[in-house]
Amino acid sequence: MQMEAGLDTGPMLLAESLAIGSDETTGQLTVRLADLGGRLLVQALRSVSTLRAQPQPAEGATYANKIEKSEAWLDWRLPAVALARKVRAYDPFPVAQTRLDDVVIRVWRANAEARVAPADPGTITAAGPAGIEVACGEGSLRLIDLQRGGGKRLPAREFLGGYPVAVAQRFADGPA
């Protein structure tokens, strides 16, 4: 991209799209984008005399504000699909989080489940080696990798071994 006075507004010299995997985290996508950017930079330097600048399309361009830690709190009233995306989007930073009683729990990996959980949003409907299932506004979210404050990231089986939870306990929607 050529430089202009505006933020990321200059004409493009090379462009390539990249599909985002359905289970891909921000950290994984960042690595793939860095690889792509490096490859395109080498390609641009090798063919600088033949590159033709193309204006950036105005449609679809948006400005993204800096992500704040406060955005990472899970709102259990949202659909499970949206929460699973949020978990992937906030890995590796700031990491999705919730609260059970007075304990902050970071959620590193989760899957949306289509079945409807018969409970209020945030209520634990099942807990076992495969994960902790939590009722959402639509469907349920299976928490697979979790971390307590000061602890390390653990698969659900190990997490539950050191921090048991019970069916019917309820996660809070935000900070205390």
| Residue-wise pLDDT tens digits, 78-99 | 999 999 999 999 999 999 999 9
| Residue-wise pLDDT tens digits, 9-41 | 888 889 899 999 999 999 999 999 999 999 999
Domain boundary among 64, 80, 109: 64
Shared domain for 118 and 91, answered yes or no, is yes
Taking CA atoms, 160 is separated from 64, 101, 103, 129, 154, in Å, by 37, 15, 14, 8, 9
Domain at 98, CATH number? 3.10.25.10
Domain boundary among 9, 42, 64: 64
Q: Which domain holds residue 54?
A: 1-64
The neighbouring-strand residues paired with 154 are: 146
| pTM for the whole structure | 0.88
State which H helix or E strand residue 169 sits in: none
